[in-house]
Amino acid sequence: MDILKVAATGLIVACLLVYLRQHQGELAVPISLMMGVIVFLLIREELAAVVYQLAELASRAGLNNLYLETVLKVIGISYLVGFAAGACRDAGEKVVGEQVEFAGKVLILFVAVPVMLAVLESILDLLP
């Protein structure tokens, strides 16, 4: 990834969005969403490398895959919810964005329950 590509693309799209919001506001939201997809495509290799390195580190440390999977799911949910909520707010739907964020928080809690249970079981095993 070349950060210059991401920065240049962001500046170009930002200028385009400023113009579009003044003249054809209905096109601003789809173009903003496309920018999110473009950024994801620009960083996908680096993202895959980070996930691979984390998996390698967890493997060498002998960690249960449950923990790494949970952390990656939580990170993924956080990023996707942030993107979706931001897009909703950008479209003028603040309440929908807040609902998306609430749903994301509930999903994160749901994903984290197995880890919390494993930690509690470990603590209970240590007690006499």
Cα 43 to Cα 50: distance, rounded to the nearest angstrom:
11
20-53 pLDDT, tens digit per residue, is 888 888 888 888 889 988 988 888 999 899 999 9
Cα 38 to Cα 9: distance, rounded to the nearest angstrom:
9
The residues, any chain, with a CB within 8 Å of residue 96's CB and separated by 6 or more, are: 88
Give the closest residue to 92 by CA, choosing from 24, 44, 29.
29
Q: What is the pTM of this model?
A: 0.77
99-126 pLDDT, tens digit per residue, is 999 999 999 999 999 888 988 888 988 8
Give the closest residue to 1 by CA, choosing from 32, 34, 37, 41.
41
What is the structure's pLDDT at 102? Answer: 97
5-22 pLDDT, tens digit per residue, is 889 989 999 999 889 888
